[in-house]
Structure 1
Amino acid sequence: MIIFWVAVAAMLIFFLQAKIFHRYALRQVGYERKFQKKFSYRGETIELVEQLTNAKWLPIPWMRVESQLSSDLKFHRQDNLEVSSGKLYQNHRSFFTLMPYTKVTRRHRIVCTKRGWYKLQSVTMTAGDLVGFLHQTKQIALDGELIVYPTPAEVPMHQLPSHSWQGELSVRRWIVEDPFVVMGTREYRSGDTYKMVNWKATARAGHLQVHQYDYTADRRLMIYLNVEDNESMWRSVNDEDLIEQGIEWAAGAAQAVIQSGMEAGFCTNMPTVGEFGSTMVEPRSGGGQLSDLFEAMAKLELVRTEPFADLLTREADSGYSQRDILVISSFWNEQLELQADRLRRNGNAVVHWMLALHEPHQDEQQQAGEAG
């Protein structure tokens, strides 16, 4: 008889604790997940930080936190962590035990294997009683994000359009006077403004003398990247590694130019995430511009928005001048060469790099075009 009542008491306790944990296990439980930083580079290792808080008197014997992340974010091996990875996404499970009024912080090391824009969508928390008879599930929305920049490639500076690398050196061939570089004086000519008058030289000569300005190199580079990995491509990219290499070449060229104090812009027949048209970032200088360029490159989707020849045609039709133009493409044909010549006739210097899975090189027959 005693054994019977002991068994009844055990069953009551078992069902009572199951009901209590099922009802209260996830109450007053806080959860936060965030990346260590918002920006990273491909190949860099960062941390994903999880923080759980139990703000009640009842302990949590076990808790499982599940989420889905891109397979391009590779987790290091770690205790109390299960990762099952597919081609595009991976399921990430963490296991916790929380005592009353405690906070647990766990850091996961992640390798960013591919450029991109990664968002934390949501996590599912599951907790239950001591023996796992009953459990409770709760889903929490997250808003963290990580932008992984392409790793800038080491590019051969001597193959960039020649104007950009003249810096402050005077050049005879350029077509625009630089009002900040004065090389002497000359006599006044019709069309000169009074701002150009050199009054000291005028007093000495007895007639109007104006500043003689020197000609300096342009300091603005525009980079065009072609997503078409072959001439017959329609919309989908077949050789993704090749185009990823092209993005890193573009990033390297932009970084080299901007870090030298010049201006750089970027244009490609690919959209950014959530957009439909071709991507365009107008040339500017400074660290903020470099960040904008890297972010745009990180968010590129490997699909074609329009034929690259049409994009260059539109740029040539715009009539802009005084720019150095770098074209990165896996092929070069008469149609592209025609638009490159039009850009040169507008007063720009144009070179192109043939895209291949090695260091960038300039086609022997395509040398830097000089403005004018």
Structure 2
Amino acid sequence: MDGILILFFSISIISIIAEKIRRNAFRNLSIFRKIDKKSMYPGEEINAKLYFENFSKIFIPFVHVEEQVPLELERIGQSYSERIGDVKYYSNVFNIGAVERLKFNYKFSSNKRGIYYLKNIKVSIGDVFGLSEDIREFEDYIEIIVFPKVKSLSELQFNNNSLLGDIIVKRWIFQDPLYVKGIREYTTDHRMKDIHWNSSIRMGKLMVREYDFTSDRQVTFLFNTQTTTPFWNVYEGNNIESGIELMASIGKELIYGGIATGIWTNGQIVSYFGKHGNELPPSTSSVERFLEYCARIDVNTKFSFSDYIYNKRDKFDINTVYLLITSYIDNESAAIINILRSKGILIKLIDISKQGDINIPGVEKLHLSGEGR
């Protein structure tokens, strides 16, 4: 009988101590993450480290960690334990010794452009008998940026034009503000109106004017996410994604070419702290800055395109080439564009609709083909 009482008393004492350890464990536990870079191209990897530090002199026998990860991010080589909506949960169970630091290494990857947030880490600490546990949720905020897929300009194809490669930039975007650099032999990529007839007669073969950029021109993309009226009703996600990849590809080449390049958009901008507005001012400072903004554009529309450009009408600059990328245009927007053109504003259209049936009278147009998407 005495042995049973001693056993019962011992178990009670141990349980009380275990309960106290469990309840006080979080006071001496530090949990945080680190990543080796904040941005990546689709298919690349980001190295992540999850740290647990026990500053107590007491062993913690049971720790269950559940990490919340956006659906579009993948932890390479690991399977998630649960999926709820657009969030996956990755679990890990371990123990941690007194005054010990544990580090877990893993990698993230994604094939989808966007801004993703690692936020919540749910931690459960149990007693030595597994009879009870204390649960806390930590918010360890980390932003991961996945750039759009960037193609070489030679991969871009347009149904109504044979322009390829850097000719898109030199012969279409900048054909009006270019200056004549010299004379060269004609190829099938050249326009007939560029033929220099006097030199052709003298040389006995077709010669054309060779152009280069003027130094005072810049480019601003007008990226329209509206795909129907009313603007909040429907979106065509695939067309918008193709348009963003097109904008990223051309913009990258423009910036590398020393052309200040920016973006105006009526789309919603993903920004946890609200630091990013609907305009990226033209700059040559950083391609990554431009690609990051492309990653932040959401497929949902914030303003109707007509309201957006009407409110911006006094901000248009005659020394800027405006490249309108859209899969939809309404009559009101087209009318505003024509008013801007009458004031000397240079606007060109890239139609990303599948039908290629967007037309604005007087505005030069390219249509992105299915092969170029």
Give the TM-score of the pair, scaled to structure 1.
0.72
Distance in 2, Cα, partners of 1:277 & 1:20:
47
Deviation at 1:252, TM superposition (A): 1.6
SS in 2 for 1:25: helix
Once the two structures are superposed, residues 106-149 of structure 1 have per-residue CA deviations (whole angstroms, 9 ceiling, x without a partner) of 12221224333333333232112222112223333323322333
Deviation of the 1:336 alpha carbon: 4.8
Contact 2:235–2:300, Cα closer than 8 Å, also in 1: no
Q: Which amino acid aligns with 2:41?
A: Y
- Of 317, 321, 334, 1:320 maps to 317
- Look up the match of 2:199: none
- The 5-angstrom pairing of residues 79-94 of structure 1 reads 82-94=80-92
Match of 1:51 in 2: 51
Structure 1 residue 276 displacement after superposition: 12
Partner residue, 2:128? 130
In the alignment, is the contact (CA less than 8 A) between 1:316 and 1:342 conserved in 2? Answer: no
Match of 1:11 in 2: 11
Q: Using the alignment, how far apart are the partners of 2:20 and 2:311 within structure 1?
A: 69
1:183: which partner in 2? Answer: none
- Describe the superposition over 1:38-86 as per-residue Cα deviations: whole angstroms up to 9, x where unpaired: 22233332123201112232222220122323212122233xx743123
Change (3 A) 1:135 1:316: closer
Query: In the TM superposition, what is the alpha-carbon distance from 1:284 to its structure 2 partner?
Result: 2.0
Whether 1:350 aligns to 2:347 is: yes
Structure-2 residue corresponding to 1:297: 294
Within 5 Å, give how 1:1-372 maps onto structure 2.
1=1, 4=4, 7-8=7-8, 11-12=11-12, 14-78=14-78, 82-155=80-153, 156=156, 157-160=166-169, 162=171, 170-171=179-180, 216=214, 218-230=216-228, 232-273=229-270, 279-287=278-286, 290-318=287-315, 320-332=317-329, 335-356=332-353, 367=364
Cα distance in 2 for partners of 1:51, 1:273 equals 28
Bigger Cα displacement from structure 2, 249-258 vs 53-62? 53-62
Q: Distance in 1 between matches of 2:135 and 2:217?
A: 59
Q: Are the equivalent residues in 1 in contact too, given 2:329–2:358 (CA < 8 A)?
A: no
Partners of 1:361 and 1:103 lie apart in 2 by 62
CA deviation digits over 1:267-323, x for unaligned, max 9? 111132366997122222221xx3333333322233223322343445555452122
Partner of 2:192: none
**Rg larger in structure:** 1
Opposite residue 126 of structure 2, the aligned amino acid is G
**Distance in 2, Cα, partners of 1:59 & 1:217:** 68
Indicate the SS of the match to 2:263: strand
Q: Which moved more, 1:292-301 or 1:13-22?
A: 13-22
Judge conservation of contact 2:254–2:261 (CA < 8 Å) in 1. Answer: yes
Distance 1:236 1:107, change over 3 A: farther
The code of the aligned residue for 2:235 comes to N
Query: Percent identity over the alignment?
Result: 21
Classify 1:125/1:285 alpha carbon distance in 2 versus 1 (closer, same or farther; 3 Å): same
Residues 308 and 147 (structure 1 numbering): CA distance in 2 closer, same or farther, change over 3 Å? same
Provide the aligned length of Structure 1 versus Structure 2. 322
In structure 2, do the counterparts of structure 1 residues 29 and 60 end up closer, same or farther at CA, with 3 Å as the change threshold? same
**Quick check: 1:63–1:125 contact (8 Å CA) kept in 2?**
yes
Deviations 1:210-238 (A, max 9, x none): xxxx99465311111111224x3431443
CA distance 1:354–1:3, shift in 2 (3 Å): same
Q: Which letter maps to 1:37?
A: K
Aligned-partner SS, 1:297: helix
Query: How large is the Cα RMSD of the aligned pairs?
Result: 3.8
Shift of 1:356: 4.4
SS in structure 2 of the partner of residue 43 of structure 1? coil
How has the CA–CA distance of structure 1 residues 315 and 26 changed in structure 2, closer, same or farther, with 3 Å as cutoff? Answer: closer
CA distance in 2 between counterparts of 1:320 and 1:44 reads 38
The answer to whether the 8 A contact 1:353-1:361 is kept is: no
Counterpart CA distance in 2 for 1:134 and 1:331 is: 58
Return 5+ residue gaps in structure 1 as ranges. 173-213
SS in 2 for 1:281: strand
Cα distance, 1:352 vs. partner? Answer: 1.4
